[in-house]
Amino acid sequence: MKFGVVQFPGSNCDDDAYHAVEAVVGQSVDFIWHQSEQVSGFDAIILPGGFAFGDYLRTGAIARFSPVMRAVDRFARSGGLVLGICNGFQILLEAGLLPGAMTRNKGLRFLCRQVHVRVENTDTPFTCAAREGQVLEMPIAHMEGNYFCDRETLAELERNKQIIFRYVTPDGVVAPDDSSANPNGSLAAIAGICNRERNVLGLMPHPERAVETALGSGDGLALFRSLVASLSGQATISA
Partner 1 sequence: MASIDTEIKVTPEIAAEHGLTPEEYARTQKILGRDPNITELGVFSVMWSEHCSYKSSRAHLKRLPTRGTHVVQGPGENAGVVDIGDGLVAVFKIESHNHPSFVEPFQGAATGVGGILRDIFTMGARPIAVLDSLRFGPITSGAGASDEEVARNRRILDGVIRGIGFYGNCFGVPTVGGEVAFEPCYSNNPLVNALALGIARRDELFFARASGVGNPVIYAGAKTGRDGIHGASLLASAEFSEESQQKRPNVQVGDPFMEKLLLEACLEAMRTGAVVAIQDMGAAGLTSSSCEMASRGGVGIEIELARLPQRETGMTPYDILLSESQERMLLVAERGREREVFDVFHKWGLDAVEVGRVTDDGQLRVLNHGSVAADIPAHAIAEQGPVYQRRIATPPARLQAPAQSISFAARGADLSANFRRLLASPNIASKHWITEQYDSMVRTNTRVGPGAGDAAVLRLKGTKRGIALSTDGNGRWGYLSPKIGAMHAVAEAARNVACSGARPIAATNCLNFGNPEKPEVMWQFSESIDGIGEACRALDTPITGGNVSFYNETLGKPIYPTPILGVLGLLEDADCALGSGFRNEGDAILLLDGNQKAGVAAELETEFLSSEYAKTLHGIVAGTPPVIDLAAEKRLIDCLVNLASERVISSAHDVSDGGVAVTLAECCFTSEGLAAEVRMATTGAQESANKETLRREDGLAAEIVLFGEGGARAMVSSSPELLARVSQIAAQYGVRLERVGTVTRGEFRIQYNGGNLIQGSVDSFQNAWSGSLAAALKSA
Binding site for partner 1 (CB under 8 A): 9-10, 12-13, 15-16, 19-20, 23, 49-51, 53-56, 109-113, 139, 141, 143, 206, 208-209, 212, 214-216
> What CA–CA distance (Å, rounded) separates 182 from 177?
7
Q: Which is nearer to partner 1, 13 or 163 (CB)?
A: 13
86 tagged catalytic: yes
Shortest Å, Cβ 110 to partner 1: 5
CA angle 175, 179, 184 (to 5 degrees): 100
Q: Are 138 and 165 in contact (CB under 8 A)?
A: no
Tell me which of 120, 156, 206, 212 is the catalytic residue: 206
Shortest Å, Cβ 233 to partner 1: 30
Shortest Å, Cβ 213 to partner 1: 11
Shortest Å, Cβ 61 to partner 1: 13
The residue type of 165 is F
Q: Which is nearer to partner 1, 154 or 204 (CB)?
A: 204
Shortest Å, Cβ 33 to partner 1: 9
Residue 69 has phi, psi (to 5 degrees) of -70, -25
Q: Which is nearer to partner 1, 109 or 159 (CB)?
A: 109
> What CA–CA distance (Å, rounded) separates 45 from 31?
10
Span between the terminal Cα atoms of the chain, in Å: 16
208 tagged catalytic: yes
The residue type of 162 is Q
> What CA–CA distance (Å, rounded) separates 19 from 219?
16
Q: Which is nearer to partner 1, 15 or 156 (CB)?
A: 15
206 tagged catalytic: yes
Q: Are 7 and 18 in contact (CB under 8 A)?
A: no
Q: Which is nearer to partner 1, 8 or 75 (CB)?
A: 8
Tell me which of 132, 194, 208, 212 is the catalytic residue: 208
Tell me which of 86, 94, 149, 194 is the catalytic residue: 86
> What CA–CA distance (Å, rounded) separates 21 from 34?
20
**194-215 b/e (C-beta count within 10 Å ≥ 16 → b):** bbeebbbbbbbbbbbbbbeeee
By annotation, the residues acting in catalysis are 86, 206, 208
